[in-house]
């Protein structure tokens, strides 16, 4: 029997599991390799992604899907096995980043629009043939003096809806990611402002998705949490972040969405885990709520690896630890004690 979009989305939202974002662009992965003194060659990038995908315990027990970059979905492991096959063999769903990045939004200083719709239908067909069963498109929304504008919110929501419809037309589950930034330069907004803007963005997003005919049962939302800006003089506790985020989701996200997989944004590894767990502890949410983390899952692993083959096991152990902690958080069962005990 053919797997439906809802079936795929439900697999990606499996209890106690989440999504590994391994879709860093070439420039982003180069910066991360530079921090460990490693040149960003194609083989180095392959070796790093392979060590993650071969971390059997993490992949089979904690990871339900992996977002890949164009280069990675086409690569093979050192022994010739396609990396997509490693992911599928571990029981996770392979996915692909399809946007072309955020560019300056014309006549709207300080704001961005994500590009990549031209030729997307054909690219999605190719990615499906390569094994991708879900995709991701990220929009970025900046809070500032007079920002975000309605123009920015509507333009990005429209692009995300067009992307999502093209995905579903081609048998691919769309991850819809409208990120309200908390770590941009000058981000001094408080928790209430973050929550209000996030709610405004999400309501506009779902209006566009419904207008585009997108089946929400085969769609996953990847939002940012409601968090004060990096330079805010008014901090918020983890409990306050969780409560504000849950309120926003209830107000703005339809109940038939397949699930919510948070991005980590500018949070530390442990912050992202704690906030996710507290949101799940609130309970009474109509959708499964989990993680779709990149740096917050990988930072310790890439540092432990350092580009050295003899450090692969240490790097996999670091990745497995972070994945297990987030798996607990997806079930609302993480605690500082669990973090220390497992470490």
Distance CA 20, CA 52 (A): 10
Determine contact, residues 264/296, Cβ cutoff 8 Å: yes
333 catalytically annotated: no
> Measured between alpha carbons, how far is 125 from 166 in angstroms, rounded to an integer?
10
Q: Which of 24, 50, 111, 177 is labelled catalytic?
A: 177
Q: Which of 97, 112, 136, 222 is catalytic?
A: 222
The length of the chain, given as a count of residues: 343
**Residue 222 appears among annotated catalytic residues:** yes
Residue numbers annotated as active site? 177, 222
């Amino acid at each position: 029997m053919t797997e439906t979009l809802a079936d795929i989305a439900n697999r990606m939202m499996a209890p106690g599991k989440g999504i590994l974002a391994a879709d860093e662009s070439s420039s982003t992965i180069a910066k991360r390799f530079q921090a460990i003194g490693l040149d960003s060659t194609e083989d180095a990038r392959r070796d790093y992604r392979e060590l993650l995908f071969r971390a059997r315990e993490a992949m089979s027990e904690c990871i339900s899907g992996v977002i890949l970059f164009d280069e990675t979905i086409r690569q093979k492991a050192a022994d010739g096995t396609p990396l997509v096959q490693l992911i599928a063999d571990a029981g996770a769903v392979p996915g692909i980043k399809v946007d072309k990045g955020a560019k300056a939004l014309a006549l709207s200083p300080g704001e961005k629009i994500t590009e990549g719709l031209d030729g997307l239908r054909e690219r999605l067909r190719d990615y499906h043939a390569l094994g991708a069963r879900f995709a991701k498109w990220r929009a970025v929304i900046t809070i500032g003096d007079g920002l975000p504008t309605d123009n920015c919110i509507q333009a990005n929501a429209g692009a995300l809806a067009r992307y999502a419809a093209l995905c579903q037309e081609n048998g691919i589950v769309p991850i819809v990611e409208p990120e309200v930034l908390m770590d941009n330069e000058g981000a001094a907004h408080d928790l209430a402002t973050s929550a209000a803007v996030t709610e405004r963005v999400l309501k506009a997003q779902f209006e566009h998705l419904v207008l585009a005919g997108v089946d929400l049962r085969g769609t996953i939302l990847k939002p940012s949490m409601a968090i004060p800006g990096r330079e805010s003089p008014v901090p918020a506790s983890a409990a306050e972040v969780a409560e504000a985020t849950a309120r926003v989701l209830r107000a703005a996200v339809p109940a038939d969405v397949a699930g919510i997989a948070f991005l980590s944004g500018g949070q530390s590894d442990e912050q992202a885990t704690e906030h996710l767990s507290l949101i799940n502890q609130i309970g009474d949410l109509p959708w499964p709520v989990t993680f779709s983390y990149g740096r917050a899952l990988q930072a310790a692993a890439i540092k432990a690896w350092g580009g050295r083959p003899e450090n692969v096991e240490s790097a996999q152990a670091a990745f497995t630890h972070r994945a297990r902690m987030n798996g607990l958080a997806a079930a609302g069962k993480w605690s500082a004690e669990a973090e220390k005990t497992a470490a």
